[in-house]
A and B are shown apart, each in its own frame.
Chain A
Amino acid sequence: EVQLVESGGGLGQPGGSLRLSCAASGFTFSSNWMHWVRQPPGKGLVWVSRINSDGSSTTYADSVKGRFTISRDNAKNTLYLQMNSLRVEDTAVYYCAREVARGWYFDLWGRGTLVTVSS
C-alpha cells in the first residue's frame, strides 16, 4: 500500500527539541521531493520545509529557519524533521507530504503527528 506514516510527536518544552519521522512505503521514496506541512489546532495548513530527492537541497519557511532541519534516509525510506529551540507557536499537527515528480504539488499525505509545546 502506498502510504506515509508520521511518528515522533508529543509534548516538548519551550526551548527543547523533538525529532519527527515519516516512514514511506509502496513507492520509490528516493524519486520524490518531500515536504513537511503543519496545522495549528483549529487553523489552516502552513508549509514548513522541503527536501529534494537525494537530500542535497533543502528549503525552509522563515518561521522555522535556523531551528528546524529536514533530512532523509533513502535506504530506510524515511523522512525526518529535527525541531530545535521549540516555541509554543510550533504546536501543531505535522504532516509529511510527497511532491509529484516535476509537479510541485502534493499528491500523498500522511495522517500527521501532533506536537505540543508547553511548559
Chain B
Amino acid sequence: DIQMTQSPSTLSASVGDRVTITCRASQSISNWLAWYQQKPGKAPKLLIYKASSLESGVPSRFSGSGSGTEFTLTISSLQPDDFATYYCQQYNSYWTFGQGTKVEIK
C-alpha cells in the first residue's frame, strides 16, 4: 500500500501570507496526486489534480507542484476563506489520503 505523509500537521498563518504544504508518497506515484480543501462539517472540495492542474473555479492563488514522491500545495496569498484542512490524495494505486494539514489563524 502507498502511504501519504503530509507536513506540517498544523500551520499557523496570517492573511496575506504565502503558505506551503508538503506531501510525500512512500513510493513513486508519478503525478497522480490531488489536493482537497475541507472546512468543518463540510464535504471536501477538489483544488488540484494531476499534481499541478487547477480545478475549474478554484482561485489562482492555489498551485501545486511535484512529481514522483514529493509534492507541494502553495497558497500565494492566504485569504480568510482559506482557513481549512487540506488533504493530498494519491490515485496511482487505489486511493490513499494524507493525514491532513490544518491551516489556522495566527
Which residues does A use to contact B, with CB under 8 Å?
35, 44-47, 50, 59, 95, 100, 103-107, 109-112
Distance between Cα atoms of A38 and B38 in the complex (Å): 13
| B→A interface (CB under 8 Å) | 32, 34, 36, 38, 42-46, 49-50, 55, 87, 89, 91, 94-100
Chosen A-B contacts, 28 in total, with CB atoms closer than 8 Å, are: A35-B95, A44-B97, A44-B99, A44-B100, A45-B38, A45-B89, A45-B97, A45-B100, A47-B94, A47-B95, A47-B96, A50-B95, A59-B94, A95-B43, A95-B44, A104-B95, A105-B46, A105-B49, A105-B89, A106-B34, A106-B36, A106-B44, A106-B46, A106-B89, A109-B45, A110-B43, A111-B42, A112-B43
Look across to chain A and name the residue whose beta carbon is closest to the beta carbon of B97. A45
B32 contacts which chain A residues (CB < 8 A)? 104
Q: Are the CB atoms of A103 and B49 closer together than 8 Å? A: yes
Considering residues A100, A105, A109, which has the most beta carbons from chain B within 10 angstroms of its beta carbon? A105
Taking CB atoms, residues of chain A closer than 8 Å to B95 are: 35, 47, 50, 104
Question: Which chain A residue lies CB-closest to B96?
Answer: A47
Closest CB-CB distance, B95 to chain A, in whole Å? Answer: 4
Shortest CB distance B7–A (Å): 14
- Supply 8 further A-B pairs (C-beta < 8 A) apart from A103-B49, A109-B44: A45-B36, A45-B97, A46-B97, A47-B94, A100-B49, A105-B91, A109-B45, A112-B43
What residue of chain A has the Cβ atom nearest to residue B56's Cβ? A107
Q: How far is the CA of A104 from the CA of B50 in the complex (A)?
A: 10
Contact partners of A112 in chain B: CB under 8 A = 43
Is B98's CB under 8 angstroms from A44's CB?
A: yes
Residues A47 and B46 in contact, CB atoms below 8 Å apart: no
Cα of A27 to Cα of B97 in the assembled complex, Å: 26
Complex Cα distance, B54 from A107, in Å, reads: 12
A residues less than 8 Å from B96 (CB atoms): 47
Instruction: State how many angstroms separate the Cβ of B54 from the closest Cβ of chain A.
Output: 13
Nearest B residue (CB) for A103: B49
